[in-house]
Amino acid sequence: MSEPGTARLAESDVVHVAKLARLAITADEVERYTTQLGRMLEHFADIDSLDLSSVEPMTHPLPLSNVMREDVVKPCLDREEVLAASPASEDGRFRVPPMAGEA
């Protein structure tokens, strides 16, 4: 894979990322996204020269942490209603195609 902030993206990078993102993409899309994402990464080079080693990362704008609810039983989503909105269900569960043997 190409070095961060230097070269444009390679097509092989795009194919790899699409696999990570579980997106089936066409050869045409590989070509287009390689150009477009590469252009964006070039634009992102404006932050390359910033020395941020002494700056703490902000994960979130609020000082909140470990927000807990009380451990009491409350009404929750209706199981039948949730399952009815799914593409396929069976015996109170979501049904999916076989998973065994997948990489």
Partner 1 sequence: MSIPATPSTSDFAGVIALAEQIRNGDRTAVDVVEEHLARIDAGDPELHAFNLVTAESARAAAAIVDDQIAAGNPVGVLAGVPVALKDNLCTHGVETTCSSKILQGWKPPYSATVVDRLAAAGAITIGKTNLDEFAMGSSTENSAFGPTRNPHDPSRVPGGSSGGSAAAVAAGFAPFALGSDTGGSIRQPAALCGVVGVKPTYGTVSRYGLIAFASSLDQIGPFTHSVADAAVVLEAIGGHDPMDSTSLPQPFPPVSSVLDRGVEGLRIGRITDLPTGADDDVNGRLDAAFAAMEAAGATIVDVQVPAFTFGLTAYYIVAPAEASSNLSRFDGVRYGLRVDAPSTGEMMAASRAAGFGDEVKRRIMLGTYALSAGYYDAYYGKAQRIRTLIAQDFAKAYAQVDVLMTPTAPSEAFHFGDKGDNPLSMYLCDLYTIASNLAGHPGISVPYGVGDEGLPIGVQVLAPALGEPVMFQVAAELERLASK
Q: Does 15 bind partner 1 (CB under 8 A)?
A: no
Cβ-contact 77, 83 below 8 angstroms: no
Least separation in angstroms between CB 27 and partner 1: 13
Q: Which of 1, 7, 8, 31 binds partner 1 (CB under 8 A)?
A: 1
Nearer to partner 1, 59 or 71 (CB): 59
Q: Which of 27, 72, 73, 77 binds partner 1 (CB under 8 A)?
A: 77
DSSP strands (E only) in the chain = 89-90, 93-94
Least separation in angstroms between CB 91 and partner 1: 15
Q: Does 71 bind partner 1 (CB under 8 A)?
A: no
* Residue among 36, 44, 52 nearest 6 (CA): 44
Instruction: Compute how many residues bind partner 1; rule: CB under 8 A.
Output: 54
* Residue among 12, 72, 69, 73 nearest 37 (CA): 12
